[in-house]
Amino acid sequence: MTRTGQEGPGVPEIDLTDAEVLHDPFAAYGEVRERSPLARIQAPGFGPVWALTRHEEARAMLADPRFELTADSYTRPDVPEHCLAYMRTMQEMDGPEHLRLRRLVSPAFTARRAAGFRPRIEPIVDRLLDNLAEHAARAGGRPVDLILHFARPLPMDVICELVGIPETERPQWREWGAAVATGWGQAFADAIPHIMAGAQAAVALRRAEPADDLISELVQVRDTDGDRLGETELVTLVWHLVLAGQTPTNLVANAVQTLLTHSEQLAVLRREPDLMPRAVEELTRWSGPQLITIPRYAREDVEIAGVLVGKGEPVTAVIAAANRDPRAFTDPETLDLGRPTEASAHLGYAHGPHFCLGAALARTQTEVALTRLLDRFPDLALADTPTGSGRLPDPGTWRLAALPVTL
């Protein structure tokens, strides 16, 4: 799985196609972390990438202005030319350009705003749980897929409510969301122009008819200098929300599987429901979906752990290793839903200037989803099926292909 590279003494090399990495990335990356804070990732189709495996070094790099996100940080699907103007999201920007947009939109994504949005998330979750129960009833006792009928549609329904997509258009947006959640392929590429067109229509509608939603708020936002978001920026933000907003699908699915395979911890959570916010932080640390960050590029030569990273070379933070670093967390391999505030130091939403804009919303959404699910189905259990809850072979995302359960 690893070997010493030529870039520096003791620098291990990680092959992203290796079966050990795909089967249990936490163990594979953890073994590398204990050998070295710095490694080299190799995978077919792109050159080697420096990888930081320990919490302190990874966190420092994510906040270091000597490392930047660029267009090369992202892969591009094959999309129509007229959509390209909307593909460059805030995540790809740095410096004054990024700071300007972040300043304009951040007030709409605070923890306080997310908490205020909770009463609108709750009926969405309850409706999906009703549908899940109906599917289970029709299945006649056979298992139902919690991802297909709950975790996957949830984020898109929440985004549509947040953004202000009319109810009649939401079933179509669900289909686009399912395509976007795959992360690649023809369905992904085909969905993009539809999402762009839908976002354009939503922005135009809310300019003419403001309502209690995010677009209406952002259309009217001004900073102290009178700056405002342009049309392309608004449409791009909606697209970015659709793309990044699919994270709770895998977070909720991973969390449910983790809870159902750790009965003692689940029992603690059922006895002490007020632990839920802390539990979500611990579940994100222990089984969060993001395994590695989007690569940053060195603006200049930088020395890390005694090794020179050259100007222009890509560097990633290995979240799966950093979030279980014993230097940062006590007994990190143990799931502890009552873990003190150190759990919130995880890098599941990255860190620094590009800390996930929607982190507060994702947390609130996950808290509501898990709380309502466990309350509604006290006998929820993993189904014993031939295929089980298999993982997709994705070196960047820890995600399930399906999650068959009985209610």
187-208 mean pLDDT: 83
d(CA 146, CA 144): 6
Per-residue three-class SS string for 321-382: HHCCCCCCCCCCCCCCCCCCHHHHHCCCCCCHHHCCCCHHHHHHHHHHHHHHHHHHCCCCEE
d(CA 102, CA 258): 34
**% of residues, the chain, pLDDT over 70:** 87
Q: Report CA-CA distances (Å) from 91 to 71, 98, 293.
A: 10, 8, 12
Task: Output DSSP code: residue 276.
Answer: H
For residue 351, give the CATH number of its domain: 1.10.630.10
- Could you tell me which residue, 99 or 371, shows the higher pLDDT? 371
| pLDDT at residue 258, rounded to an integer | 97
- Amino acid (1-letter code) at residue 47: G
Residues in contact with 96: Cβ distance below 8 Å, sequence separation at least 6, in sequence order: none
d(CA 366, CA 278): 12
d(CA 295, CA 303): 17
Q: Is the pLDDT of residue 4 over 50?
A: no
| pLDDT at residue 109, rounded to an integer | 82
In whole numbers, what is the pLDDT of the chain averaged over residues?
85
Q: Is the pLDDT of residue 125 over 70?
A: yes
State pLDDT tens for residues 244-295. 777 789 999 999 999 999 999 999 999 999 999 999 999 999 999 999 998 8
| 55-69, 91-105, 343-357: range with highest mean pLDDT | 55-69
Q: Is the pLDDT of residue 9 over 60?
A: no
| pLDDT at residue 2, rounded to an integer | 41
Residue whose token pair is 């279980």: 324
Q: In what order do the strands lie in the sheet with 2-4?
A: 2-4, 12-15, 38-43, 46-52, 314-317, 296-298, 67-68
Query: Predicted confidence band at 85 (pLDDT cuts at 50, 70, 90)?
Result: low
Q: Is the pLDDT of residue 362 over 70?
A: yes
- Could you tell me which residue, 38 or 1, shows the higher pLDDT? 38
| 5-19, 65-79, 128-142, 172-186: range with highest mean pLDDT | 128-142
State pLDDT tens for residues 311-355. 999 999 999 999 999 999 999 999 999 988 777 799 999 898 878
| Buried residues in 222-244 as b, exposed as e (16+ CB within 10 A) | eeeeeeebeeebbbbbbbbbbbb
| 42-56, 194-208, 234-248, 270-284: range with highest mean pLDDT | 270-284
| pLDDT at residue 247, rounded to an integer | 79
Query: Predicted confidence band at 224 (pLDDT cuts at 50, 70, 90)?
Result: low
| pLDDT at residue 131, rounded to an integer | 95
Q: Are 180 and 231 in contact (CB under 8 A)?
A: no
Total count of domains within the chain: 1
Which of these, 192, 187, 159, lies nearest to 82 by C-alpha position? 192
| 82-91, 197-206, 230-239, 253-262: range with highest mean pLDDT | 253-262
Q: Is the pLDDT of residue 27 over 90?
A: yes
65-72 mean pLDDT: 80
| pLDDT at residue 5, rounded to an integer | 38
Q: Is the pLDDT of residue 395 over 50?
A: yes
| Helix (H/G/I), strand (E/B), else coil: 63 | coil
Q: Is the pLDDT of residue 143 over 80?
A: yes
Q: Report CA-CA distances (Å) from 405 to 339, 349, 370, 378.
A: 27, 28, 14, 12
- Could you tell me which residue, 364 or 172, shows the higher pLDDT? 364
Give the domain range for residue 7: 2-406
- Per mean pLDDT, which range of 7-21, 48-62, 290-304, 365-379 is the poorest? 7-21
What are residue 318's DSSP bridge partners? 292
- Could you tell me which residue, 95 or 164, shows the higher pLDDT? 164
Task: Output DSSP code: residue 142.
Answer: S
| Helix (H/G/I), strand (E/B), else coil: 136 | helix
